[in-house]
Structure 1
Amino acid sequence: MKAQDRPQKRPSLSLPILRTSRDQHRAGTLTLGNLLSAIGETSFGWAIVLFSLITLLPLPPGSTLLTALPLLVTTVQMSLGYPHVRLPGPLARLRLDQGKIRVAILRLRPVTRRLERILKPRYAALFTRRNERLIGVLLFIIAFALFLPVPLSGWFPAISLFTIGVGIVERDGLVTAAGMVMGAASVVLTATILLWLAAGADALIH
């Protein structure tokens, strides 16, 4: 088989983030706004990929109260029909740690490897303007579940948001839909844990 006839290997989903964050780190310009603008021109898909990745950084428990804020802002804007992401100044200027970004990407490699094998443009009807707003509403609910500092639940909403974001970037309706199913399950899990904690607290009080 000739070299030009062989199927080309799909570029890594994490490569643009790794390269751009490394270059900006060396230049001393690595901020949330700069990184997003460089990799995705403030598109919603790349924003969701990047912000869900940030929630997976090795940080102390309860950090999602801060790291999930960009996701809440982004998903609200998506549900309201904004043409692109508009980060508030303090969020855009937030400085990032390139080493921690790399660690988070490595933690996601089992997920990204599987996605890279199956991603392709399909079911484009899911990405109509009207449907994008509905997707934004669901993403906000998932992001809110991630925002809540509930023990044992944060990983699942973050992974589902990452999957949905990748699906949006690649215009893959099947992967996006699968991510939304995962996200709905993560919301149910978070609600279940909250109810369990509330019942336990009530039992202790009474």
Structure 2
Amino acid sequence: MTADEPREEKTAALLRTALLSTPGERVTVDQVLEPLKRRAFGFLLLLLAIPNFIPVPLGIGGVMGVLVLALGLEMLIGLEQPWVPGFLRRRTMSRDGLLRFLDRIEPVTRRLEKLCKPRAQRLTRRPFTFVSGAIMLLIGLLLALPIPFTNYVFGAMLIAFAFALVERDGVLLVAVWATTAIIVIASATFSRALLGFFRDLF
């Protein structure tokens, strides 16, 4: 966005508008992503963060992790917009449930939106999408692993990542890159300590 372009709606408002403009009690992933066009990567990440904050069947973290891995791979190879398989695009979600989720995370999104603004935008575009893709692969891998008590942490990382991409905030994006690296090191240390504890115990 240049200084002469009009200010676009913020992330949560855009997603809410997309949901409210869709008739029916349930919406497909395709219906949510279609109006978002070039910012679909960020919004898809936001959708993938949702199961980390609501009661879901055991093992859903692994499924979400695989989907985040796939999305990271797409960014890694330089796709401008995410490619989503047809069966996932047709997957339906409760519109009211998504709206309730937006209400629930509103205190967080409000703070993020105050911090976010288009800056260092080059970092949100190619060739730096390679770095974002690699970081997303790390988050997806950690989500897929059965590491206890980490869903909220990785979910929060996905939300911050999503906002950085949607708002084209390169500064926040770098902060996400750095924080992910720290979390990867901490998770590896915690997992090693946990394995050592159980090995000694038995």
TM-score, structure 1 normalization = 0.81
Please give the root-mean-square deviation of Cα atoms over the aligned residues, in Å: 2.5
CA distance in 1, matches of 2:144, 2:95: 23
Aligned to 2:19: 21
List gaps (5 residues or longer) in structure 1: 1-8
CA offset digits 1:9-54 (Å, max 9, x no partner): 9955322323433443x42551223222233457322222332234
Report the alpha carbon displacement of residue 179 of structure 1 after superposing the two structures with TM: 2.0
Corresponding position: 1:31 with 2:28: yes
User: How much identity, in percent, do the aligned residues show?
Assistant: 24
Aligned mates of 1:119, 1:93 — CA distance in 2: 31
Q: Which runs of 5+ in 2 are unaligned?
A: 1-6
Task: Work out whether residues 143 and 154 of structure 2, in 8 Å CA contact, stay in contact via their aligned partners in 1.
Answer: yes
Match of 1:111 in 2: 108
- In 2, the alpha carbon distance for the partners of 1:85 and 1:10 equals 21
1:157-177: CA deviations, max 9, x gaps?
Answer: 221121122112111111111
- C-alpha spacing 1:200/1:103, structure 2 compared with 1 (3 Å): farther
Q: 2:24 & 2:93 partners in 1: Cα distance? A: 13
Cα distance between partner residues in 1 of 2:9 and 2:132: 26
In the superposition, relative to structure 1, how do residues 12 and 135 fare at CA in structure 2: closer, same or farther (>3 Å)? closer
Instruction: Look up the match of 2:4.
Output: none
**2:123 corresponding residue in structure 1:** 126
Matched, 1:171 2:144: no
- How many residues end up aligned between the 2 structures? 196
Q: 1:91 aligns with which of 84, 88, 91?
A: 88
Which residue in the other structure is 2:79 paired with? 82
Q: Which runs of 4+ in 1 moved over 4 A?
A: 9-12
Distance between the aligned counterparts of 1:28 and 1:128, measured in 2?
36
